[in-house]
Structure 1
């Protein structure tokens, strides 16, 4: 089974690494880190990830995983969306994490479909034609989308259950000891204090705005 993990500048590392650590250890999986060029890709916090192949070289995959990050530069540039339009029709599963759903939408993958994303970009996703859900993981046909960042692990475990059965998925969950017990109950916009939500929203939108300004 070929799983393509999409790389692009300013992506969020955990969006990719979380699903990778769930899915890539399963028997028979060949992971591919695919990007526009063979050069290392710098994530939004500075981590470098090396591609193993390029969009030009990889024209199919059984599973596609699109991480999120700062969306506007990649949306404007269009290379990721163009590749998704080519490979999605033959993929068994196409998935996204966080703002990665905006890339699926820009490729037409989410037209008329329910999907989720990071809470800060729900309006953006809706403007791109998706039916936006506030659920943590959403499956609509062969497309599975996850909410912000850490939800990618939940998405990958859900997909593992579909691909290999519940017992295998439970074993993968145990192997990575995914048993969240956070010290705070503020992991969603619905639960966090209003002042925290506004502070984080301001920081994120200023970062997205800087990204958009660089491409505008």
Structure 2
């Protein structure tokens, strides 16, 4: 089983590493990190770099394609014709094409989610409708071979959902135990529908602060007003 995870500057690291930790535990599975170009990829935090050894010029097929999200970086990739064309071409070879968080907007931009239900991070989920997808607030959504997950941590759930389909319940339970994934959050505030309005406002301020920081990291300051306006 060949799994490729696409990375780009500004990626949210857990979006990629969460599914990686699950799927690498499936037997006879190879997981590759792929970027537009070989070399260093910076996470949205600015504190973590990954040295990617495979480029989209080298990798043209996969059994599973995973597109992680980001705070701001996804918006630049949505306009990157080279990347979108690569996503379309790899998608022709996949058994499953998946996304985490705002990664679904790359799939939608590539025209792969037209007419399908899809989810994303709560702050930008409505942007999906601009590309023909049916924006739906669910944690994990399966539509044919396309699986989209909501924000960040949902990537682990998406990967377990996928593992269950590929290797069955017992193996997936064993993987879940291997990574000791037993979420017991201290507060019931991790779902947009459950969170209080005051908590949503605080979260929005944090996201705006993170977005401004990432804009600086990516050298995209001149576009900040337009991007932040889209995210409101």
TM-score range, shorter chain: over 0.9
1:199 is displaced (CA, Å) by 2.3
- Residues 207 and 76 of structure 1, relative CA distance in 2, 3 Å threshold: farther
CA distance in 1, matches of 2:54, 2:205: 36
Coordinate RMSD, CA, aligned: 1.7
1:132 is displaced (CA, Å) by 1.1
What secondary structure is seen at the aligned counterpart in 1 of 2:192? Answer: coil
Runs (5+) with no aligned partner, structure 2: 227-232
1:206 is displaced (CA, Å) by 6.0
Identify which of 170, 177, 180 aligns with 1:177: 180
Identify which of 146, 160, 174 aligns with 2:149: 146
- Residues 214 and 23 of structure 1, relative CA distance in 2, 3 Å threshold: farther
Runs of 4+ more than 6 Å apart: none
Give the 5 Å matches for 1:1-216.
Answer: 1-46=1-46, 47-69=48-70, 70=72, 71-205=74-208, 207-208=210-211, 211=215, 214-215=222-223
CA distance in 1, matches of 2:81, 2:173: 37
Q: Are 1:40 and 1:51, in contact at CA under 8 Å, matched by a contact in 2?
A: yes
CA distance in 2, matches of 1:76, 1:118: 19
Which TM-score applies when normalising by structure 2? 0.88
Which TM-score applies when normalising by structure 1? 0.94
Runs (5+) with no aligned partner, structure 1: none
1:153 is displaced (CA, Å) by 0.3
Q: Are 1:9 and 1:41, in contact at CA under 8 Å, matched by a contact in 2?
A: yes
What secondary structure is seen at the aligned counterpart in 1 of 2:159? Answer: helix
CA distance in 2, matches of 1:74, 1:5: 15
Q: Are 2:39 and 2:53, in contact at CA under 8 Å, matched by a contact in 1?
A: no
- Residues 73 and 208 of structure 1, relative CA distance in 2, 3 Å threshold: farther
What secondary structure is seen at the aligned counterpart in 2 of 1:50? Answer: strand
CA distance in 2, matches of 1:55, 1:29: 20
CA distance in 1, matches of 2:173, 2:21: 14
Q: Are 1:33 and 1:50, in contact at CA under 8 Å, matched by a contact in 2?
A: no
Q: Are 2:104 and 2:120, in contact at CA under 8 Å, matched by a contact in 1?
A: yes
1:73 is displaced (CA, Å) by 1.7
What secondary structure is seen at the aligned counterpart in 2 of 1:34? Answer: strand
CA distance in 2, matches of 1:87, 1:41: 21
Q: Are 2:2 and 2:30, in contact at CA under 8 Å, matched by a contact in 1?
A: yes
Greater mean alpha carbon deviation, residues 162-171 or residues 184-193: 184-193
